[in-house]
Amino acid sequence: MAGLGRLVGRVAVVTGGSRGIGRGIADLFAQEGARLVIVGRDAASGNDAVAAIGKSGGRAVFVEGDIALAETSRRMVATALAAFGRLDILCHNAGIFPEARLDAMTEAEWDRVIAVNLKSTFLATKACLAPMRAQRYGRIVLTSSITGPVVGNPGLAHYAASKAGMEGFLRTAAIECAADNITINAVEPGNILTEGLVSTLGEKHITAMKAAVPMGRLGEPIDIAWAALFLAGDEARYITGQCIIVDGGQTLPETGSAVN
């Protein structure tokens, strides 16, 4: 496996790690020497990710479950400790972004997005604290979004609220955990080209999205993975409660005409 060995000896849990941004994070962390617990709802894609990492010389196991449930977070931590004896890094990446305008959005749709994206952030973080505090070391990296903390997007009010809430959570959680040498930070992706984005929006919408990005292209999962690797490593040991925007400059222009 290629890599500089920046995570050799570390054990990382990556939620939503079987596809999209999470898969990019898992693959890069494995290349850098981390042993992995990949968490997701789809066993087929999860086992594919584990097999690919193993084929490249890494070590990974898969935990199937709904991250909105506390039991899934408990199992992922127990699995990390049983399989690898420790837990150093949590990359909480799992999330959903179904579109629904306010007048059509149901209470059930709102509750599901908040549960999967925001409640799970609390559950996953809380589950990891005991082993991290015991070893006085931990890195927690959340996958947030520019939508909510920085910009809005019609049809994604529930998603935007969940991501803005995630960042409010991390600032207080970072204070509570700092004395135990546990850092909590977030990456705010812009529009990243993943399977979910293509299936949800379609090629025509994606072409329009590219035009709004000063760099002229959408990001790739590896772009988020590099930021997560920095926050999960020793180079970021004195950074906590912070958010890094990775969006190709998407949030910079004052108007759409400024891009061109």
Residues 5-19: b if buried by 16+ CB within 10 A, e if exposed: ebbeebbbbbbbbbb
For the sheet containing 11-15, what is the strand order?
A: 60-64, 35-40, 11-15, 89-92, 138-143, 182-189, 243-246
CA distance 18 to 151: 28
Bridge partners, residue 61, by sequence: 37
Q: Which residues, 6+ apart, have CB-to-CB distance to 191 below 8 Å?
A: 197, 209, 213, 218, 219, 247, 250
CB atoms within 10 A of CB 72: 23
**What is the Cα–Cα distance from 217 to 86, expressed in whole angstroms?**
39
**Marked catalytic residue, from 159, 177, 184, 191:** 159
* Known catalytic membership, residue 137: no
Q: How far is CA 183 from the centre of its chain?
A: 15
- Determine the Cα–Cα distance for residues 28 and 24; give it in Å rounded to an integer: 6
Q: What positions carry a catalytic annotation?
A: 159
